[in-house]
Copies of this chain bind each other. A is one copy, B any other.
Amino acid sequence: MKNLKKIKTALISVFYKRNLEKIVKKLDDLNVQIISTGGTEKFIRNLGIKVISVENITSFPEIMDGRVKTLHPKIFGGILARNENKNDKKQLEEFNIPIIDLVIVDLYPFEETVRNSKSEDEIIEKIDIGGISLIRASAKNYKDVFVVSSQNQYLEFIKILDKNQGITSIDERKEFARKSFSISSDYDRNILNYFSKKNILRYGENPHQEAYFSGEMEKIFDKLNGKKISYNNLLDIDAGLNLISEFKETTFAILKHNNACGLASRNNLLDAWKDALAGDPISAFGGVLICNKNLDKKTAEEINKIFFEVIIAPSYEEEALKILKQKKNRIILLLKENKNFQKEQFRTILNGFLYQEKDLKTEEEIDLKTVTKISPECKEISDLLFANKIVKHTKSNAIVLAKNKQLISSGVGQTSRVDALKQAIAKAKHFNFDLENSVMASDAFFPFSDSVEIAYNSGIRFVIQPGGSIRDKSVIKFCDEKKMSMVFTGTRHFKH
């Protein structure tokens, strides 16, 4: 094994002293020289173990009640010097800087202090400056330095000390360096949350789960009325804003559990509302409503007839607001123009997180490739693009049926594409929609031709889908036989 290093000099500066005794005694047994400061120094000295004061090295006292202790070139030079670098070594000698090859830090407990809701001054005082600098510098120089960046790592570190009598490998040092940046990024994320006045929510998806939102809601909307916005409201608001942003025409959408259960584009908002609601007046109960035009009195009067949780509009007529405000709990949001959404998505899974770019692709007419003998006409193309926009924002597997810029029904979140279609057809029938000449959008390709067959038998004549299945040919063949028209977008829109 190469890149083995024996620990010779340790700098220790920790907040919690629990389990520290073991480490210090072990280091002393291994003849490691210990440098320390403040309370840690006293703790070590009280154990009867020799310790060099940081001040002795820097010739500079601790100042400003400990705000400045270790931030000195004689300390950081000793941590950051590269063993392989001749110039670094020369400078160590020139300035009489001791090499430090082990750094043990336990940071000021910032989050704990916030949780115990101390005064602002006390909380700010617990922002660790020196400790973070120490662990980051040590982690950067992991080739030569071992860094322990939290009391939670003491036991694991003791094992490493025991295993090889103070000799550490490059892999061990790098792994602990990695941990350091996890500690430091989390630490500053917590401070950020504190400064951002993180919005504590009543609870998460369910009452037994604690939750908060971190971000600046007030930059996206003003709350004009209503109770506190909940975790589930926020999920729906996010889904709703992403969905509505696809539509330029006057459009109303109704969301439940992050999916649209109604949506229509019309010449005026009242009609858009009525035809959105017609899509599924039952699911609309308790939903999140969103539109992209000034909310007028007439529309407000209609909306007021149903029970809903949240309404979002870019502006409101004064009379409309008066009507909507009649219910005290109803959340009324005024959308601002500055919708500076993130273009990246993170979500936790397993023991880490998934990152991806957001799905920002919106198909236009130019993206469509007709694959059947019959091409869709202008009006049909408009419906196909309309349905495709909705299916993009619907959970997979998803099928959307639409006609005349109205969402007729959708099959959402299904484990099979055929089920999604069947569900959409059943819903359309339940609400007495005529599927004759309607369009179908699919968020992914059809693996078999069964779906278009079922669609045809229900009156659907126009299909939009990404394409790309090994059985595309048989799907196209069926459409051609039945004089259906189908376009491919080339872009899948899975969403989970």
- Chain A residues in the interface with B (C-beta under 8 A): 58, 60, 63-65, 67-68, 71-73, 75-77, 80-82, 85, 87-88, 91, 95, 124, 127, 129, 132-133, 136-137, 139-140, 174, 177-178, 181-182, 184-189, 191-192, 195-196, 204-217, 219-220, 231-232, 234-235, 237-238, 241, 256-259, 261, 280, 282-283, 285, 287, 340-342, 344-359, 361, 395-397, 412-416, 418-419, 422-423, 426-427, 447, 491-496
Contacts and interface: CB of A to CB of B under 8 A. Distances in A.
A185 B345 CA distance: 17
Nearest to A282: B416
B87 A65 contact: yes
B68 A71 contact: no
A68 to B, nearest CB: 5
A356 B178 contact: no
Contact of A72 (B71, B346, B423): B71
A206 B491 contact: yes
A250 B141 CA distance: 49
Contacts of A215: 349-353
Contacts of A95: 60, 63
The quantity of this chain's copies bound in the complex is: 2
B348 A496 contact: no
A219 B495 contact: no
7 contacts: A64-B85, A76-B129, A124-B140, A182-B192, A207-B491, A211-B355, A234-B350
Given A77-B64, A349-B238, A357 B413 contact: no
Nearest to A211: B356
Given A232-B494, A340-B351, A341-B350, 6 more contacts: A129-B140, A205-B495, A211-B355, A213-B355, A215-B350, A256-B397
A82 to B, nearest CB: 7
A196 B186 CA distance: 15
Contact of A413 (B88, B209, B259, B287): B259
Nearest to A216: B351
Contacts of A189: 181, 185, 189
Contacts of A140: 124, 127, 129
Nearest to A62: B73
Contacts of A280: 415-416
B412 A209 contact: no
A355 to B, nearest CB: 5
B68 A214 contact: no
A280 B416 CA distance: 9
Given A191-B181, A195-B178, A261-B416, A209 B350 contact: no
A236 to B, nearest CB: 9
B353 A256 contact: no
A39 to B, nearest CB: 19
Given A136-B188, A416-B282, A348 B344 contact: yes
A349 B234 contact: yes
Contacts of A124: 140
Contacts of A133: 71, 129, 132-133, 136
A342 B346 contact: no
A352 B218 CA distance: 11
Chain B CB within 10 Å, residue with most, of A132, A192, A210? A192
Contacts of A354: 211-213, 231, 234-235
A353 B348 contact: no
A175 to B, nearest CB: 8
